[in-house]
């Protein structure tokens, strides 16, 4: 009896272990990773700029304006100087690293009932935003292309890394 009890305990422990392992993997698969500035850990998939335009017009323009010119939310397009009066920071003139645009859009959950966008959708809309900023000409956006884009303001920040 004692032996059986011990075995039962062991089995319960093992089951809890397996279950928590399983649960953990579900939680982890929903986790949003931080995309590095060099894009090295961007997902291995791709998105279409044309689809990105559709996603933008349907989901983003109500706050950012039909052509991303700004409405209740800031404009996302423009290359004005960052000095002088009425400075307007946009993706085109301010953001130093293109992979971070992916990171931002993937993370942002704008409407309370919105689900996070899929990686394909985020590539698509990132490609579209870069296109309207004249920083991307292709039809398909992926890890290699996004990591390769040199943003105009890349040198505009102080490097504290050394």
Which chain residues interact with ligand HEC by CB under 6 A? 55, 59-60, 62-64, 73-74, 76, 89-91, 94, 101, 104-105, 108, 110-111, 125
* Residue 31 Cβ vs ligand HEC, minimum distance, rounded to whole Å: 20
* Residue 133 Cβ vs ligand HEC, minimum distance, rounded to whole Å: 10
Taking the C-alpha atoms of 69, 90, 137 and 119 in order, what is their torsion angle to the nearest 10 degrees? -100
* Residue 125 Cβ vs ligand HEC, minimum distance, rounded to whole Å: 5
Residue 35 or residue 105: which is nearer to ligand HEC going by CB? 105
Residue 7 or residue 109: which is nearer to ligand HEC going by CB? 109
User: Residues near 105 by Cβ (< 8 Å), separated by ≥ 6?
Assistant: 117, 122, 125, 126
Q: Could you tell me if 45 and 123 are in contact, meaning their C-beta atoms sit under 8 angstroms apart?
A: yes
Residue 8 or residue 140: which is nearer to ligand HEC going by CB? 140
Residue 50 or residue 73: which is nearer to ligand HEC going by CB? 73
* Residue 138 Cβ vs ligand HEC, minimum distance, rounded to whole Å: 18
User: Residues near 14 by Cβ (< 8 Å), separated by ≥ 6?
Assistant: none
User: Residues near 67 by Cβ (< 8 Å), separated by ≥ 6?
Assistant: 61, 77, 132
Strands 46-48, 140-142: pairing kind: antiparallel
Residue 112 or residue 162: which is nearer to ligand HEC going by CB? 112
From CA 22, how far away is CA 45, in angstroms rounded?
A: 25
For the chain, report the end-to-end CA distance as a whole number of angstroms. 66
* Residue 98 Cβ vs ligand HEC, minimum distance, rounded to whole Å: 11
């Amino acid at each position: 009896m004692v032996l059986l009890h011990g075995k039962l305990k062991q089995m319960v422990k093992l089951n809890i272990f397996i279950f928590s392992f399983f649960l953990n993997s579900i939680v982890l698969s929903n986790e949003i990773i931080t995309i590095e500035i060099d894009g090295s850990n961007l997902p291995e998939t791709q998105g279409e700029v044309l689809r990105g335009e559709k996603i933008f017009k349907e989901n983003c323009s109500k706050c950012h304006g039909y052509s991303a010119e700004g409405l209740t939310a800031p404009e996302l397009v423009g290359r004005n100087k960052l000095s002088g009066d009425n400075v307007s920071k946009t993706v085109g003139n301010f953001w130093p690293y293109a992979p971070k645009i992916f990171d931002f859009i993937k993370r942002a959950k704008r409407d309370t009932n919105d689900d996070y966008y899929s990686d394909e959708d985020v590539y698509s809309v990132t490609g579209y935003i870069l296109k309207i900023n004249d920083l991307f000409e292709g039809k398909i956006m992926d890890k290699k292309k996004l990591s390769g884009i040199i943003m105009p303001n890349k040198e505009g920040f102080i490097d504290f890394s050394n």
